[in-house]
Structure 1
Amino acid sequence: METEEYYFMLRRRFADAPVRLPLDISMDTLTELFGCTRRNAQFILRRLMDGGFIEWRAGRGRGHRSSLVLLIDHGELALERAAKLVTNGRLSEARGLIDGFSDSGLSYAFSQWLAGQLGISRDPEEQDVLRFPFYRTVPALDPPLVMRRTEAHWVEQIFNTIVGFRVSDRSVQPKLAHYWEEEDGGRCWTFFLRKGVRFHNGKLMAARDAVYAIERVFRLNPAHWLAGFILHIQACGTYGIRIELSEPVSCLPEALCMEHFAIVPEEADRLTGTSDFARMPIGTGPFRVVRNDESMLALEANDHYFEGRPHIDRIEMWVWPDYEGIETSEVTRHDAQLLYFEALEKNGHPPSLSQVEEGSVYLVFNQAKDGIARNERFRRGIRLGLDRGRMVEELGGLRYSVSEGFLLPDCLPIRESGEEADLSLAAETIKQSGYGGETVRIYTYAMASNEQNAAWIQRACGVIGVQAEVIVLPIERLAEPDVMLGADLIVAGEVMGEQPDLTLIGVYTSARSFVRPLLAEADRKAVDAQIADCLKQRDYESRIKALASIEERLKRTCSLLFLYHSIQTADYDASLRGIALNAWGKVNYKEVWVRRHAGQAKHGQD
């Protein structure tokens, strides 16, 4: 342990002791603090004296206490040490060091310093490095297992699918496959792969990798809606893949554009194991992962990317837990360069980009187990007791407007408005339901807005006479079937991504969604029949119309209560070009570049 670490231990233990004034202390106290023998404690004291950290006068004789003088203010020393740790990429250690002092002034100073390191920088070799904060780690980047918007976005930066989806005209475009053809009325599809595409580890991509990756999706998600149609997937030579279906699926190419079907090398699980591959994945995309831990996710440009090398050389997403302190730090438009969502909200900047998110936060009732949630009168009482407009107004933040479905109002052919809140009627309806005062469990997954939503709903339930408790779990834990079924209600959210029709098919069919597993048996049968009809439709509008009928049924039976739409925001510096929000509310870093004036070295602006 470095000498200054022992000094920090002293400063934390004697936080109120003034600098340069003697402090009476016994050797027993020091041996306990340092966790060592008396002899080793004396050795540590000698190191501290030689380093100019302390003065020490040993007590002479029995009953005479020693004297310790602390010579250095801990704040300046801690900031210097934390800065060294950050420079070496050890952000988590640096924050732990600062937090250990429980000193708000020190935490503020560190946040200010840390904010100054964010943004775009250019090193001596003219490498453009983009740094920005994010409130949590992202250890789960294995495409078939991705469950959250941020991970889905990163997957698109790291991997490619065999075909890509262009949102502007809703068309399927070449990606890893340069051409494909349909046979036997949509029962057989052949995709022809590009030559010379390499994975980030240098291996040439071949058809066997694509076959392995697609089959792996169904192995990891056996209940995937497409799995039941697959008869056979095979490699046709080195650069061809043939997919045979039991019946026509006209939207197969669109499905293969989804991030879950990103192509991974066939040895992915063998070489690293599923958990390690999720943290340090290997793809063919524009950026490769070089680091992913509790401090940062770091990506570097793929110099050999088949669609052209990115302009940004390196991206560092610095983990800033829950954005603590960011609202008081000196993160400005000039320094931050890129702030997303809650970071932008806490910092108080007006957004440079914003869009209403296609998707909704919702409340789903668990009718898959015996309990009060199976009672439609109880579910209706809860719906009447939740004033969603008031919820949006009181909680604020990125909550934009009350929602009546997953899609925004202009995206659906038919939409029925929800019943207005009525607290008196709600309380009476709850009484009529036979509710006996038992505690209703509201589950949600760890995320600040989710936890706020669940707490608000808990309070609203109390007003109408329903006792509720909130249980917050990691999303991966909540998605476990046995855990999910323990809930009475689940508060969650779904972002539609680039293809709302296929996202909704997944919501209504996947065992890993928070909707399908909780549906009543009658609702499941109705959903399955409607999905079967949906998959026969050859165009997006027809599929959305079929899916709308599912939504209306679940609303009518009070099985699913839509709460609100969110707004997506991002702030960025004017020197960053190619900035646009995608369906996830994130930036496609492949298109970002830095416009600099001659002589600019750092934090360039127009």
Structure 2
Amino acid sequence: MEVIEHYMQLRMAFPNAGEEEEIHTTIGELAEHLCCTMRNMNLIMNKFMNHGWVNWSPQRGRGRKSVLIFCLPLLQAAQERIDQLLQGNKLEEAYMLVSALPFSMRDMLMQGLQGQFGLRSDQSARGRMDTLRIPQETPFETLDPTQAAMWGEVGIIAEVFDRLVQYNAERQVCEPSLAVAWENNQEGTVWTFYLHKGIRFHHGKILDAEDIRYTFDRILSAQESPCRPLFGSILRVETLDELTVRFVLRFPNYMFPDLMSSMNASILPRDIEMDPMHPIGTGPYQLTRNHPKLLVLDVFPSYFRGRAFIDRVEIWQLPQSGLVESVIKQNLFPDGQARLVQHEVQGGIYMTFNMRKEGPQQDLYFRQAVQQLMNSQEMVEALARTSVQAAYSLVRDKPEEQRRTEQKQKNEPTQQCEHLNFPEQSENDPLFLTQEARKRSEPSMDTSLVRANKLLQRSCYAGQIMKVWVEEGEKMEADMVWFAQRCEQIGLKVHVMPGNPVNAVYHDEFASFDLIYTGEVFDEHPTLSMLTMYTFQNTLLLIALDDQRKSQLENECRHVVMIQDSTERLRMLIALEKGLIQEALLLPAYSFREEHAHHASLQDYRILSFGMPDLRRLWVKRSSIANGDTASYPAYIPLW
């Protein structure tokens, strides 16, 4: 331990004492605080005094008090030590040091570490080493492709594994990946894939058809596998030879190649048991370290599509910074010379209900009341965020006319749903007064609140407190402050509690809650994303949904994959979403946009659907004015 770290250790032992304040203590107590002998304690204290950090008047003898005065503030000492560590490229030690400090100064120092993120290029006798450091605030629970549901987890899986097929979002077609080609029978019930030769897993094994069979048998044989319904059309998997695998289906599935591009369909080696925190795949990066604070991906030199450019990727678990995005960017790019990349996140933020729990949320009228309270346009206008827009669907690429129609329908109360038999409502009901009539009769309240109030009065709600689970984070928690204020205006009692989505997905955190406020991120394939949302059991929507409705969705999705026309499949899935919205089980709030910023030397910076740069394409044009053997190229990757 460096002497300044000894000083910080002793300084934190007296948190209530100020600088230049006399502290009366014994030599034995000081030795105990420094975790050393009294002899070593004297040596250390003399070093402190030589640096001018303390004044110390030792008094020897049992029970006699020495006088200690601290001169160097703890924050200043910490900053000096952190600067030393960062100069030596010891980010991990700097991070661990900051993590051990009092909470009051931890956030300030964490902000200083932001500048370490981005790309660092080091030149040595062994050659050039390019390392990309990315901050992440959601801990990893699993990297098993059949289980993972968090954005960050999916991002790692995308780099560690490959799939038989890859989806080209620019061309909107499935293209070869591990499979060089595939074919199917006319009925869409038999699909045959032909594998590339010589593809290696990270541990050296050559990929063959038995690995494909093992991957899908593992899914289908586990009754509790959350992605089993997604691949429910598979009857059996046959290996015709070492490079040919055949899937025999229970029913026609014309989306089968698309399913093979899903992250859930990532191919595993059959000769080694799956470790959910240290997986082995065939991807361009291999996982070499997974610590609670740091995950490291090193380039896989034998990747069958060619070696990736970036040598190492470090994913750091950092708490959410208190700084606003504009300040962070200013710190990273003080001269303003950053390239900005806009990323329209597919999917969006929504509210749903815990339909596995008894309560007013089982009543359509109550859910419709909440639907009116969650008026997306009014929320967006009230919160005045430039990066969001009101959403009436989780699909962004709908025709504008369709979006306008749905917005109008959302602002009108739902009369009766197609799938469930709810009480019919009369056209003479006050609920169906025109907007103008409502404004004349209720001038003190806006129309959505009037509708919400009438629906609430008609529901079975009896004044109980409704527990609202909100995905933790400054923005979504602010949304629920606005929502709670609206609830108060019509007499709906709510108690909002932030929660960790990792615990919600993997540890049933919101079992006791009534309302759920979260989000869903889609990838570049909206049809597959919606199908996954309705069948992959680890999506938050399905975790909250009752078994009967989940079964209905699964059956509807079975009919969707039987459709040959891709446009018609998407239309049918959007119709399913519309049904959920009509039943007030899915309440879209808004979609959002992220803005990445990066140094101009980072070339081909493209953002994938889960918010990370595409590491398979990213490369570095090292600056000609870089000083010495080390060059840093900052990048700002937003944390939602």
TM-score (norm 1): 0.85
Cα distance change of structure 1 residues 559 and 103 upon mapping to structure 2, 3 Å threshold: closer
Match for residue 613 of structure 2 among 577, 582, 587: 587
| Structure 1 residues 49 and 261: alpha-carbon distance in aligned structure 2, compared to 1, 3 A threshold | same
**Of 44, 49, 59, the match for 1:47:** 44
> Corresponding residue for 1:239?
243
In the alignment, is residue 441 of structure 1 matched against residue 467 of structure 2?
Answer: yes
The CA deviation at 1:41 is 4.7
Partner of 2:346: 358
Measured against aligned partners, the alpha-carbon deviations of 1:362-415 in whole angstroms (never above 9, x if no partner) come to: 111233432111111111111222332232234455751111111125359855
What is the correspondence of 1:376-455 to structure 2 with a 5 Å cutoff?
Answer: 376-397=364-385, 399-408=387-396, 410=398, 414=402, 416-417=406-407, 418-419=410-411, 422-455=448-481
Alignment of 1:272-351 (within 5 A): 277-325=275-323, 331-332=329-330
Q: CA deviation at 1:149?
A: 2.5
Matched, 1:152 2:154: yes
Letter in 1 for 2:484: Q
Give, as a single letter, the amino acid of the residue that structure 2 aligns with 1:389. Answer: Q
Match for residue 261 of structure 1? Answer: 265
CA distance 1:90–1:200, change in 2 (3 Å): farther
Within-5 A mapping of 1:67-86: 67-70=67-70, 72=72, 74-83=74-83
2:93 paired with 1:96 = no
1:525-564 correspondence to structure 2 within 5 Å: 526-564=552-590
Asked if 1:373 is matched to 2:371, the reply is: no
Aligned-partner Cα distance in 2 for 1:518–1:18? 52
Structure 1's 350 and 542: CA in aligned 2 closer, same or farther, altered over 3 A? farther
Find 2:133's aligned residue among 115, 131, 134.
131
Q: Hey, what does 2:225 align to over in structure 1?
A: 221
1:148-196 Cα offsets, whole Å, 9 max, x none, are 2232222222211011111122211111111212136222222111111
Counterpart amino acid of 1:407? V
Report whether the alignment pairs 1:472 with 2:498: yes
Deviation at 1:329, TM superposition (A): 6.8
- Alignment deviations for residues 417-444 of structure 1 (CA, whole Å, 9 cap, x no partner): 2126521332232122131111112223
Q: CA RMSD in A?
A: 3.4
Higher mean C-alpha displacement, 312-321 vs 301-310: 312-321
Q: Does 1:460 align with 2:463?
A: no
Post-superposition offset of 1:82: 3.0
Give the equivalent residue in structure 1 for 2:431: none
Q: Which amino acid aligns with 2:411?
A: E
User: What code does the residue aligned with 1:558 have?
Assistant: A
Q: Distance in 1 between matches of 2:54 and 2:39?
A: 13
CA contact (8 A) 2:139 2:502 kept: no
Could you say which residue in structure 1 is the equivalent of 2:196? 194
CA contact (8 A) 1:49 1:55 kept: no
Report the Cα distance in structure 2 between the residues aligned to 1:22 and 1:225, rounded to whole angstroms. Answer: 69
> Of 124, 142, 145, which residue of structure 1 is paired with 2:144?
142
- Structure 1 residue identity aligned to 2:375: D
Counterpart secondary structure, 1:360: strand
Separation of aligned partners in 2, 1:384 and 1:6: 59
Which piece of structure 1 moves more, 571-580 or 51-60? 51-60
Is the 1:401–1:565 Cα contact (8 Å) retained in structure 2?
A: yes
Name the aligned partner's letter for residue 96 of structure 1: S
Is residue 91–residue 295 contact of structure 1 (8 Å, CA) maintained in 2?
no
Matching residue of 1:122: 122
Question: Do the aligned residues in 1 keep the contact of 2:19 with 2:71 (CA within 8 Å)?
Answer: yes
Which amino acid is the alignment partner of residue 486 of structure 1?
Answer: S
Residue in structure 2 matched with residue 345 of structure 1 by the alignment? none
The correspondence for 1:161, drawn from 160, 163, 169, is: 163
Please tell me whether residue 179 in structure 1 is matched to residue 205 in structure 2: no
AA at the equivalent of 2:469: Y
User: CA offset at residue 131 of structure 1?
Assistant: 2.6
CA distance in 2, matches of 1:327, 1:316: 21
Q: Which residue of 2 aligns with 1:8?
A: 8
Paired position in structure 1 for 2:418: none
Q: Distance in 1 between matches of 2:516 and 2:258?
A: 30
Distance 2:269 2:235 in 1: 22
Counterpart CA distance in 2 for 1:298 and 1:235 is 35
User: Alpha-carbon deviation of 1:227?
Assistant: 3.7
CA deviation vs aligned residue, 1:204-228 (integer Å, no higher than 9, x gap): 2222222222233343625633443
- Match of 2:298, SS state, is strand
What are the ranges of 5 or more consecutive residues in structure 2 without an aligned counterpart?
Answer: 413-446, 635-640
Match of 2:435 in 1: none
Q: Could you tell me how far apart the structure 2 residues matched to 1:282 and 1:469 are?
A: 43
Alpha-carbon separation, structure 1, partners of 2:96 and 2:361 = 45
Distance 1:576 1:34, change over 3 A: closer
Alpha-carbon distance between aligned partners in 2 of 1:328 and 1:358, rounded to the nearest angstrom: 23
Do the aligned residues in 1 keep the contact of 2:164 with 2:176 (CA within 8 Å)?
yes
Shift of the 559–174 alpha-carbon distance from structure 1 to 2, 3 Å rule, reads: same
Q: Structure 1's 397 and 234: CA in aligned 2 closer, same or farther, altered over 3 A?
A: farther
TM-score for both structures, normalised by structure 2: 0.81
Could you report, residue by residue, the CA deviation over 1:34-91 in whole angstroms, capped at 9, with x for unpaired residues? 578xxx4564344332564655433356774212244655444423433455533335
Task: Sort the Cα spacing of 1:131 and 1:183 in 2 relative to 1 into closer, same or farther, 3 A.
Answer: same
The 1-side partners of 2:618 and 2:11 are apart by 45
Going from structure 1 to structure 2, the CA distance change for 1:567 and 1:445 (only over 3 Å counts) comes to: same
Q: Distance in 1 between the 2:18 and 2:581 partners?
A: 65
2:99 alignment partner AA: G
What secondary structure is seen at the aligned counterpart in 1 of 2:538? Answer: coil
The equivalent of 1:248 in structure 2 is 252
Provide the secondary structure at the position in 2 that maps to 1:533.
helix
Corresponding letter in the other structure for 2:305 = E
Deviation at 1:22, TM superposition (A): 5.3
Contact 1:55 1:71 in 2 (8 A): yes
Q: Is the 8 A contact 1:3 1:48 kept in 2?
A: no
Distance 1:336 1:160, change over 3 A: farther
Q: What letter matches 2:247 in structure 1?
A: I
Instruction: Give the letter for the 2:257 counterpart.
Output: P
Q: Could you tell me how far 1:326 is from its partner in structure 2?
A: 7.2
Task: Tell me, in whole angstroms, the C-alpha distance in 2 between the residues paired with 1:584 and 1:102.
Answer: 32
Paired residues in the alignment total 583
Identity, % of aligned pairs? 25
Larger mean Cα displacement after TM superposition, 202-211 or 324-333: 324-333
**CA distance in structure 2 between the partners assigned to 1:70 and 1:485 by the alignment:** 51
Cα distance between partner residues in 2 of 1:260 and 1:336? 42
Cα gap change, 1:9 to 1:214, in 2 (>3 Å): same
Letter in 2 for 1:144: T
Counterpart secondary structure, 1:279 = coil
Measure the CA separation in 1 of the matches of 2:12 and 2:525: 53
The code of the aligned residue for 2:277 comes to R
Which range moved further: 252-261 or 595-604?
A: 595-604
Q: SS of 1:235's equivalent?
A: strand
For the residues of structure 2 that align with 1:112 and 1:459, how far apart are their CA atoms? Answer: 36
Letter in 2 for 1:178: V
Question: Partner residue of 1:111?
Answer: 111
Could you tell me whether the CA contact under 8 Å between 1:334 and 1:573 is conserved in 2? Answer: no
User: Which residue of structure 1 lines up, in the alignment, with residue 422 of structure 2?
Assistant: none
Cα distance change of structure 1 residues 148 and 128 upon mapping to structure 2, 3 Å threshold: same
Residues 174, 470 of structure 1: CA spacing in aligned structure 2 closer, same or farther, 3 A cutoff? same
**Counterpart amino acid of residue 531 in structure 1:** C
SS in 2 for 1:469: strand
In structure 2, the CA distance between the partners of 1:362 and 1:48, relative to structure 1 (3 Å rule), is same
Instruction: Note the residue ranges of structure 1 that are not aligned, 5 or more in a row.
Output: 338-347
